[in-house]
Structure 1
């Protein structure tokens, strides 16, 4: 089946958008348009490819065009922090914005719903993960939200940030230091130095775009023999739904968690910011199943 048609348009139709590059793979239009339609809201959600150099103009244009809400995705989540008028406490703590609320007076409020969206699929595994070591692959805007969420929700014994360049991981570590009173954050290069941490981890998260279409056979960690049955392996990539990273997890007995659940969770929180209403999740899941 093809992409569901958006809600019918009218002269009073309100607009919400996704700002990122690339955006062709995004399922967010399916999610939000299904929610608008189910609730009878006269609104439409469009994905807009925005190059990095055009981001300031695109954000300023939200006011001019009467957009009431926006999502922000790779690679703009950190850059957009300086382009909004104020931040929610979560966005300020994380240092990244994935949701913009345009208030009635034109004020742009930067929020971050990635953290709450990340935690929701882990609720069934909370008991086995709480107080255990965890590893995040990547150190960008998504990794910041994931690290913040893990520190707050799971209180790990150690949380290792592994990035291609150790300096990137250290930057994230310093940014989150105020939220790490127990000193459990560690930074390493995404090389052999990360091997012991990954083997010991009970939660391993891919917070990079590696494995995203059109390169579904790529993986952020090719040494799959490090995976084992006592791990939950979580891939934030959701297109494709079954990445090589997750397939490797299944082969070695680990519990796989795909990125679509997080996408729905963060989207539901953004939707509530914009509309004041709960997202109709059954309608959203039905729409996703049909695409």
Structure 2
């Protein structure tokens, strides 16, 4: 018998999740399974969850629902609880006790898995010998990291970077007055970031081994321009921290996948760094959702096929 699943958010028409999950269902031979995109606001989420029944296997959540959903669930898995964000809801048989009622709703976070796996792909593409300890295996004790942005995705980035050995990243933010939630999440994780204004990123972040930009499209354009200027200065013989000495040697994961490449991704690639597109993070977090919702190993290559040439690292 088929099951239902969907991605919820507002707006949602741009989402690639339906194409990814449907490709997985087809490759796995799951006849009768369906996956839809449903526009749901934060205010409408409780009513939507209350209408779920046992025909549902799970939900994918995007903005603005990843935090709104927390008090509506019966259980929240430890990683999602620590991060403070749920992007996956598993619908399980039984009588739920949460605010929404209906079946048992379990919250999980696959964004962390998606970020870790995407960065690991970039590390495999990173030229060896640029720094002591470089190479695809292991996590050097001195590996450095930076995060651009302090929204819900930034907390998942901190957890992912911690798994890769970076527990003291620099977080560049547009407003120091809006980092309270991220600071609390970092404390729960045992991560100790340094917070700095986004304007400072152009002078510093190029030297990092791992960089994740969680900023929306065009929000990092000034940082990209600063990196380009720093590289030009380096070429002219002027020392610059942003240029990373001999140029960016690290991996940039830009979570924006449309439009791609962004100005930041293009500037990083021109300067010599490795770029991983946001669609790789999307792919791997969706693959983990497929595994959790179906109980089957996700067909990653079949799912990647729907993303096309944008999946290629630069």
CA gap 1:74/1:249 in 2 versus in 1, 3 angstroms: same
Give the CA RMSD over aligned residues: 2.4
Retained in 2: the 8 A contact 1:135–1:197? Answer: no
In the other structure, the counterpart of 2:223 is 221
Q: Is 1:279 matched with 2:298? A: yes
Q: Following the alignment from structure 1 to structure 2, what is the Cα–Cα distance between the partners of residues 43 and 26?
A: 19
- 2:144 — aligned with what? 133
Counterpart in 1 of 2:106? Answer: 109
Partner of 1:159: 169
Pairing partner for 1:175 from 153, 161, 185: 185
Q: Structure 2: where are the runs of 5+ without partners?
A: 95-102, 125-132, 229-241
Separation of aligned partners in 2, 1:71 and 1:184: 29
Relative to 1, partners in 2 of residues 1:220 and 1:205: Cα closer, same or farther, differing over 3 Å? farther
Q: Which residue of 1 aligns with 2:197?
A: 189
CA gap 1:111/1:250 in 2 versus in 1, 3 angstroms: same
Out of 14, 20, 27, the position equivalent to 2:16 is: 27
Query: Rg bigger for which structure?
Result: 2
Of the candidates 193, 210, 215, which is equivalent to residue 217 of structure 2? 210
How far did 1:268 drift? 0.9
CA distance in structure 2 between the partners assigned to 1:14 and 1:198 by the alignment: 45
How many Å separate the matches in 1 of 2:222 and 2:62? Answer: 19
TM-score by length of 2: 0.78
Shift of 1:231: 2.4
Partner SS for 1:262 = helix
| Deviating more after overlay: 160-169 vs 90-99 | 160-169
Any idea what the Cα deviations from partners look like across 1:200-228, whole Å, max 9, x if unmatched? Answer: 322221112234xxxxx963724233353
Per the alignment, in what secondary structure is the counterpart of residue 187 of structure 1? Answer: strand
Alignment deviations for residues 2-57 of structure 1 (CA, whole Å, 9 cap, x no partner): xxxxxxxxxx5421010112222211111100111111212111111112322222
* Structure 1 stretch displaced more, 221-230 or 102-111: 221-230
Contact 2:4–2:58 at 8 Å: present in 1 too? yes
Query: Aligned residue pairs: how many?
Result: 270
Q: 1:86 Cα shift?
A: 1.0
- 1:36 & 1:110 partners in 2: Cα distance? 22
Q: CA deviation at 1:229?
A: 2.7
Q: Provide the rounded CA distance (Å) in 2 between the counterparts of 1:242 and 1:218.
A: 12
